[in-house]
Amino acid sequence: MMTAQKLDDLIDQLPKVRGTLTVDAPIARLTWFRVGGNAEVLFEPADQDDLQAFLQALPLEIDVTVLGGASNLIVRGGGIAGVTIRLGRPFAQISVNEMTIEAGAAAMDITVSRKARDCGIGSLEFLNGIPGSIGGAVRMNAGAYGSEVKGILLEATAIDRQGNLYTSMAPGLGFTYRHSDAPNDWIFTSATLQGSEDSSEAIAARMEEIATAREGSQPIRERTGGSTFKNPEGQKAWQLIDKSGCRGMQFGGAQVSNTHCNFLINTGAATAADLEGLGEEVRRRVENETGVLLEWEIKRIGALPVVGVPS
């Protein structure tokens, strides 16, 4: 983290906002893994105009990071420099127009899938059980059980680092497996999703099937970050990890889940360094055993901790 003087300088440069600015904000509690250092400044905008005006006025040399539900993130122990933006309730609205749903970026995937079910809008069932936000789902092209955001997104609205507002049709976002080519500085603020007419009962039944399948195969009640590594083309990451003898492997307070070995879990006292270190050890062993170098799906953000300071 920066010195007190540098932090004061950063605070001096922050534009006036209607939302909330918090200095030295704890972030671990906001993440699924429950690890990581503090954000130098956390900004929770009052609405889209507040976010846009803030970005327009914030000096460009100040780093900006955006968090969604933090369900696919390891925040490193040294914390996050600059301004961390978290979209809250003002960005969580959901509205329905025939078979389309417009959702704010902070609306949770699960809430959106339930709304779709209640309105008889099919094709969004896979979002039930992905514990992130719509903004994170667009950024990650989230998917499950054969469906992904790419297949249901009509358009998304985003603001870039300079505060320019964009609306992009889905093909312009360059979706590939768990990835969007949208510029890295885009902060999605809303998304319009297209479903198809179906009965609420049939949708509910499919959601139930998905929930049951997850319950039996994933450590969904643990402190985890979902799939740690992307599936290499034509292969399953968990099978490669299993074959390499990593199931259940531990490093500090981090463990490769016994239930689903592409999930890492914080067994209670893990640090971000334990989790990232364990992930790197899994990658090394899998490469030695199978020749495949796994690619992280989980985003690791923030700075490494200063040696001797626990994270």
Closer residue to ligand FAD (CB): 174 or 245: 174
CB contact at 8 A, 129 and 215: no
Neighbours of 22 (CB within 10 A): 15
Closer residue to ligand FAD (CB): 217 or 235: 217
Q: Is 45 in the site for ligand FAD (CB under 6 A)?
A: no
Cβ-based neighbours of 63, under 8 Å, separated by 6 or more? 81, 82, 83
Neighbours of 93 (CB within 10 A): 12
Residue 32: name the closest of 301, 265, 309 by CA.
265
Interacting span for ligand FAD (CB under 6 A) from 2-10, 38-46, 51-59, 134-142: 134-142
Residue 238: name the closest of 258, 216, 212, 268 by CA.
258
SS3 state of residue 278: helix
For the bound state, the minimum distance from the C-beta of residue 275 to ligand FAD, rounded and expressed in Å, comes to: 13
Neighbours of 67 (CB within 10 A): 21
Instruction: Give the total of residues touching ligand FAD (CB under 6 A).
Output: 32
Closer residue to ligand FAD (CB): 107 or 203: 107
Binding residue for ligand FAD, selected from 27, 35, 41, 70, defined by CB under 6 A: 70
Binding mask 245-284 vs ligand FAD (x if CB under 6 A, - otherwise)?
Answer: ----------------------------------------
Q: Is 225 in the site for ligand FAD (CB under 6 A)?
A: yes
Run of H or E residues at 169: strand 165-169
For the bound state, the minimum distance from the C-beta of residue 145 to ligand FAD, rounded and expressed in Å, comes to: 8
For the bound state, the minimum distance from the C-beta of residue 108 to ligand FAD, rounded and expressed in Å, comes to: 8
For the bound state, the minimum distance from the C-beta of residue 143 to ligand FAD, rounded and expressed in Å, comes to: 5
Q: Is 73 in the site for ligand FAD (CB under 6 A)?
A: yes
The Cα 186–Cα 273 span in angstroms is 28
For the bound state, the minimum distance from the C-beta of residue 100 to ligand FAD, rounded and expressed in Å, comes to: 19
The Cα 268–Cα 261 span in angstroms is 18
For the bound state, the minimum distance from the C-beta of residue 299 to ligand FAD, rounded and expressed in Å, comes to: 4
Interacting span for ligand FAD (CB under 6 A) from 40-48, 50-58, 216-224, 245-253: 216-224
Neighbours of 98 (CB within 10 A): 10
235 φ/ψ angles, rounded to the nearest 5 degrees:
-135, 165
Binding residue for ligand FAD, selected from 28, 67, 103, 173, defined by CB under 6 A: 67
- Distance from the Cα of residue 299 to its chain's centroid: 8
Q: Hey, what are 127's tokens? A: 């979002």
Contact residues toward ligand FAD (CB under 6 A) are 32, 66-73, 87, 105, 130-133, 135-137, 139-140, 142-144, 186-188, 218, 220, 224-226, 299
